[in-house]
């Protein structure tokens, strides 16, 4: 009899576990504005669909030049936690269901504890500060950021570097001469001011943002000491060069479509100023100047002007001017060589030391 009762009880338990209802997936679009160290906030949008799929969109306000978008499938980790099909090391992957709202969890599935904890709740009502406006690319230099704690770094190679922690005052220092550590593929900048010391090391290796999962080309270590006393505090994160600052130099024309343009005399050259979006140079006879616009690896020349002096190489200069006036090229920098290429022409330049 006891065996019969035990067997019946076990059958009921198994039946109960098998017939346990799958948790209901909240459908619709959820919004929040996440904390951001170097911008007003991160506009984050998550759309959950009835077929257990999702689409998420994200914009760093006043900083993003395009919308970061990802789609995939949804699964349940337990009754109240849903998971997006990202790698486990990525952030923005786990969400706890709270009725009509979602709570974003950290990589380990734990509640994010911070003064901005309320920002990790997503609701179907857009916050007043939510927007998906994009910013035109204009900064030239290097940008980096890190999480937990949040921080940002901007390096303008013509001016200064600015380190901004989420919970303190920015530390601004002039750009020093770079130092290349031995046996390490990296470059280091160390500057000291009255307000403190800033030491930045940029390692050439891939890096992934632990919160957004965004990939960068460089790993960054920042050591900061405020004032003359105290100890250094270390921060780690990821970064990338902006606007390909390597263009910001003087380049002499070597060949145009595989041939030397001027055989006797000074070659044409171009000097790019990415901070002003302009170029200056020499056409072979006259001084030239104009405007440039750069988007990713493409450069466009416009409003090209020249002086009007006569010289033996005036014809060659005219050919060079035709090849840059109102023209767009994809550009590639390989060491000291710059190549401008489009469907019709290839111009090869060499950096002037």
Q: For the chain, give the mean pLDDT.
A: 87
Is the pLDDT confidence value at 92 over 80? Answer: yes
Is the pLDDT confidence value at 10 over 70? Answer: no
C-alpha to C-alpha distance for 267 and 282, rounded to whole angstroms: 8
Query: Is 42 within 8 Å of 35 (Cβ atoms)?
Result: yes
Is the pLDDT confidence value at 32 over 50? Answer: yes
pLDDT value of residue 209: 85
CB atoms < 10 A from the CB of 78, how many?
Answer: 10
Of residues 2 and 314, the one with the higher pLDDT is 314
CB atoms < 10 A from the CB of 218, how many?
Answer: 19
Is residue 321 very low, low, confident or very high in pLDDT (cuts 50, 70, 90)? very high
- Render pLDDT for 120-165 as a digit per residue (tens, 0 to 9): 999 999 999 999 998 765 556 789 999 878 999 999 877 899 999 9
Query: Is 306 within 8 Å of 318 (Cβ atoms)?
Result: no
Determine the CATH number of domain 21-122: 2.40.128.640
C-alpha to C-alpha distance for 319 and 33, rounded to whole angstroms: 53
Is the pLDDT confidence value at 18 over 60? Answer: no
According to DSSP, the β-strands at 346-351 and 250-256 are antiparallel
C-alpha to C-alpha distance for 199 and 188, rounded to whole angstroms: 7
Give every CB contact of residue 340 below 8 A, 6+ residues apart in sequence. Answer: 299, 329, 330, 331, 346, 347, 348, 349
| One fold for 21-122 and 245-351 | yes
The residues spanned by each domain of the chain are 21-122, 141-242, 245-351
CB atoms < 10 A from the CB of 220, how many?
Answer: 24
pLDDT value of residue 240: 84
The arithmetic mean of pLDDT across residues 50-77, rounded, is 91
pLDDT value of residue 227: 82
Decide which of 2.40.128.270, 3.30.230.10, 3.30.1130.10, 3.40.50.12500 is the CATH code for 245-351.
2.40.128.270
Of the candidates 80, 52, 56, the residue with the CA atom closest to the CA atom of residue 67: 56
According to DSSP, the β-strands at 141-146 and 298-306 are unpaired
3-class SS at 307? Answer: coil
pLDDT value of residue 173: 93
C-alpha to C-alpha distance for 271 and 352, rounded to whole angstroms: 10
The arithmetic mean of pLDDT across residues 232-255, rounded, is 87
Q: Which residues pair with 349 in a beta bridge?
A: 253, 338
pLDDT value of residue 24: 79
Helix H or strand E encompassing 119: none
3-class SS at 129? Answer: coil
Phi-psi region of 186 (alpha: psi -120 to 50; beta: other; left: phi over 0): beta
Of the candidates 111, 147, 140, 142, the residue with the CA atom closest to the CA atom of residue 37: 147
**pTM reported for the whole predicted model:** 0.45
Q: Which residues pair with 154 in a beta bridge?
A: 143, 162
């Amino acid at each position: 009899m006891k065996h019969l009762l035990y067997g019946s009880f076990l059958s009921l338990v198994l039946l109960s576990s098998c017939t346990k209802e799958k948790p209901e997936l909240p459908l619709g679009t959820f919004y929040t504005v996440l904390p951001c160290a170097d911008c007003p906030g991160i506009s984050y949008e998550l759309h959950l669909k009835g077929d257990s799929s999702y689409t998420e969109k994200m914009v760093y306000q006043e900083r993003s030049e395009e919308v970061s978008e990802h789609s995939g499938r949804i699964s349940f980790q337990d009754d109240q936690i849903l998971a997006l099909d990202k790698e486990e090391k990525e952030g923005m992957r786990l969400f706890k269901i709270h009725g009509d709202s979602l709570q974003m969890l950290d990589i380990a599935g734990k509640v994010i504890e911070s003064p901005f904890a309320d920002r990790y709740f997503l609701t179907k009502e857009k916050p007043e500060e939510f927007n998906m406006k994009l910013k035109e690319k204009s900064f030239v230099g290097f940008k980096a950021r890190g999480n937990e704690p949040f921080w940002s770094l901007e390096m303008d190679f013509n001016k200064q570097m600015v380190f901004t922690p989420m919970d303190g005052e920015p530390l601004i220092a002039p750009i020093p001469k770079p130092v290349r550590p031995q046996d390490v593929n990296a470059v280091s900048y160390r500057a000291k001011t009255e307000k403190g010391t800033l030491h930045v090391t940029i390692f050439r290796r891939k890096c992934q943002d632990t919160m957004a999962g965004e990939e960068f080309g460089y790993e960054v270590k920042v050591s900061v000491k405020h004032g003359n006393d105290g100890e250094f505090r270390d921060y780690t994160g990821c970064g990338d060069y902006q606007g390909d600052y390597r263009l910001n130099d003087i380049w002499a024309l070597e060949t145009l479509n595989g041939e030397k343009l001027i055989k006797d005399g000074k070659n044409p050259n171009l000097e790019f100023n990415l901070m002003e979006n302009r170029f200056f140079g020499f056409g072979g006879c006259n001084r030239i100047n104009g405007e440039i616009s750069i988007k990713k690896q493409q450069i466009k020349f416009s409003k090209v002007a020249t002086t009007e002096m006569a010289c033996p190489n005036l014809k060659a200069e005219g050919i060079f001017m035709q090849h840059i006036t109102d023209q767009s090229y994809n550009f590639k920098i390989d060491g000291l060589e710059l190549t401008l290429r489009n469907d019709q022409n290839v111009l090869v330049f060499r950096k002037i030391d």
